[in-house]
Chains A and B, each alone.
Chain A
């Protein structure tokens, strides 16, 4: 049984890590920290966990977490994780970080996207940005792993096969990623923007240009393409609590056949349980829809071709808190420990929601 500590366990991602890890057959949650809620029962903040655990939040004391854990999940805000994680990493524990603080391999990108100089660039070289469906072998051997942003991983899983298949000749300078995300993507801290009267029914373009997740998507796609890739991302808040739909647009050098695109996706994701190819001729759900992945670690991926313009539209849907965060993190832990990556994650999505 692996002993697991969670830093920042009172947020939505922390709650989702608890939900998954408390039911994981090989994990024991030994610490769940929260500055604000230390001493309180976990289920007071995450009421879905009433009857599931008697665990209480512990204070934000990294040394105690180090003593009681083999693996530490850091679900802290960007800028906070970089303060807490180095101590844990230096102590030799396995770390899965869910913030952006260790996602980018190039320290020069931190001032550009996050406005700070990275204090521990030596650690950036050691962290593996984990998309198991793409770099499973790297994650297997890693002690330090970062999990991509929810929109980033959803976009990456749809786009990576298109860059891997060189015969498509995808234009690396014009990649448009359009994301629609539910309210839980904004975290659990309330604001006027998340107030029910202001948030309900919106289709709010909250970051039409320059989204930070572009950097992670570019990093992974460049590795796939073997050359620099430029990603233009737009993000919208829509009327869901959970879920992301990403519609990505790329342009190919010449005509591309649907059969070849199917082949590219199948060849990349053969053996990847959590990626489902959805391009159905029948029923109301012909292409990925976040409604059908809620509560699960699945990423549904599909595509459509517009021959007239040479556009290939790749669609992908995830539950932003599961495959977009906690689920991918647990999947990564499973690999780091040499376990089956599906362990504790095979729950089917809810339907209807």
Chain B
């Protein structure tokens, strides 16, 4: 199942045996997505939760 990364536009390959809740990551920019729903071979992704870094700003 293929879709595209909303951050960088790269093709995002989701494994055919992916399950809801699985985390997939973009090869180009490493943005992580969580598989939210799978129906009729279509996959719906949502941004995965990220822990921000503190660089002392």
* 0 or 1 for each of A249-269: is its CB under 8 Å from B? (1 = yes): 000000000110011001000
* 0 or 1 for each of B4-46: is its CB under 8 Å from A? (1 = yes): 0001111000000000000000101111100000000000000
Question: In the bound complex, do residue B28 and residue A281 qualify as a contact, i.e. CB atoms below 8 Å apart?
Answer: no
Question: In the bound complex, do residue A259 and residue B32 qualify as a contact, i.e. CB atoms below 8 Å apart?
Answer: no
Does A282 touch B at the CB level, under 8 Å? yes
Category for how many chain A residues contact B: 10 to 19
**Docked pose: A282 CA to B32 CA in angstroms:** 9
Q: Which of B7, B26, B50 contacts A258 (CB 8 A)?
A: B7
Question: In the bound complex, do residue B31 and residue A281 qualify as a contact, i.e. CB atoms below 8 Å apart?
Answer: yes
Chain A positions within 8 Å of B31 at CB level: 281
Does A115 touch B at the CB level, under 8 Å? no
**Docked pose: A280 CA to B30 CA in angstroms:** 6
Question: In the bound complex, do residue A262 and residue B8 qualify as a contact, i.e. CB atoms below 8 Å apart?
Answer: yes
Q: Which of B8, B32, B50 contacts A279 (CB 8 A)?
A: B8
Chain B positions within 8 Å of A262 at CB level: 8-10, 28
Does A123 touch B at the CB level, under 8 Å? no
Q: Taking chain A's interface residues, is the majority helix, strand, or loop, or is none over half, making it mixed?
A: mixed
**Docked pose: A258 CA to B29 CA in angstroms:** 12
Category for how many chain B residues contact A: 10 to 19
**Docked pose: A174 CA to B31 CA in angstroms:** 32
- Closest residue of chain B to A277 (Cβ to Cβ) is B28
Query: 8 Å CB contacts to B: which residues of A258-312?
Result: 258-259, 262-263, 266, 277, 279-283
**Docked pose: A266 CA to B30 CA in angstroms:** 16
Question: In the bound complex, do residue A281 and residue B29 qualify as a contact, i.e. CB atoms below 8 Å apart?
Answer: yes
Chain B positions within 8 Å of A266 at CB level: 9
- Closest residue of chain A to B25 (Cβ to Cβ) is A282
Question: In the bound complex, do residue B30 and residue A263 qualify as a contact, i.e. CB atoms below 8 Å apart?
Answer: no
**Docked pose: A258 CA to B50 CA in angstroms:** 19
Question: In the bound complex, do residue A281 and residue B9 qualify as a contact, i.e. CB atoms below 8 Å apart?
Answer: no
Among B26, B29, B31, B32, the one with the most A-chain Cβ atoms within 10 Å of its Cβ is B29
Chain B positions within 8 Å of A263 at CB level: 9
Question: B5: shortest Cβ distance to chain A, in Å?
Answer: 9
* 0 or 1 for each of A9-41: is its CB under 8 Å from B? (1 = yes): 000000000000000000000000000000000
Question: B49: shortest Cβ distance to chain A, in Å?
Answer: 13
**Docked pose: A167 CA to B3 CA in angstroms:** 26
Question: In the bound complex, do residue B8 and residue A258 qualify as a contact, i.e. CB atoms below 8 Å apart?
Answer: yes
The interface of chain B, by Cβ under 8 A from chain A, is 7-10, 26, 28-32, 50
The interface of chain A, by Cβ under 8 A from chain B, is 258-259, 262-263, 266, 277, 279-283
Could you jot down 15 A-B contacts, CB within 8 Å? A262-B8, A262-B10, A262-B28, A266-B9, A279-B8, A280-B30, A281-B7, A281-B26, A281-B29, A281-B30, A281-B32, A281-B50, A282-B30, A282-B32, A283-B30
**Nearest 9 A/B pairs, CB to CB:** A282-B30, A262-B8, A281-B30, A280-B30, A281-B31, A259-B9, A262-B9, A279-B29, A281-B29
